[in-house]
Amino acid sequence: MRVDVWSDVVCPWCFVGLANLGTALDAFEHEDDVEVVLHSFQLDPGAPRRDEQPLEERLAQKYGTSVGQIRAQQARIVSLGAERGIDFRFDQAIGGNTFDAHRLLHLARVRGVQLELKHALGRAYFTDGEPIGEPDTLRARTIEVGLDPDEVDAVLAGDAFAAEVREDLDAARRIGINGVPFFVVDGRLGISGAQPPETLRDLLEQGWLTREPSPVQVVAGATDVDACGPDGCEI
Vertex 68: Cα angle to 65 and 72 (nearest 5): 105
In tens, the pLDDT along 159-218 reads 999 999 999 999 999 999 999 999 999 999 999 999 999 999 999 999 999 986 556 667
Give per-residue pLDDT as tens, 64-103: 999 999 999 999 999 999 999 999 999 999 999 999 999 9
Distance CA 124, CA 52 (A): 15
164: left (phi over 0), alpha (psi -120 to 50) or beta: alpha
Residues 201 and 34 sit within 8 Å (Cβ to Cβ): no
**Cross-strand partners of 51:** 95
CB 132 within 8 A of CB 101: yes
Residue (of 61, 155, 44, 148) closest to 96 by Cα position: 44
d(CA 164, CA 168): 6
- CATH level 3 topology of 2-218: Glutaredoxin (3.40.30)
CB-side neighbour CA atoms (13 Å) of 181? 24
Per residue in 49-85, is it b (16+ CB within 10 Å) or e — as a string? eebeebbbebbbeebeeeeeebbebbeebbebbeebe
Supply the pTM of this predicted model: 0.89
pLDDT cut 90: percent of the chain above it = 86
Residue 235: pLDDT band (50, 70, 90) is low
Nearest to 204 by CA among 215, 216, 188: 188
Cis amide linkage into residue 181, ω under 30° from 0 = yes
User: Could you give the CA distance from residue 48 to residue 107 in angstroms, rounded to a whole number?
Assistant: 22
Count of CB atoms within 10 A of residue 223's CB?
Answer: 6
Q: Is the pLDDT of residue 223 over 90?
A: no
Q: Domain residues of the chain, as ranges?
A: 2-218
Task: Look at residue 220 and tell me whether its pLDDT is greater than 70.
Answer: no
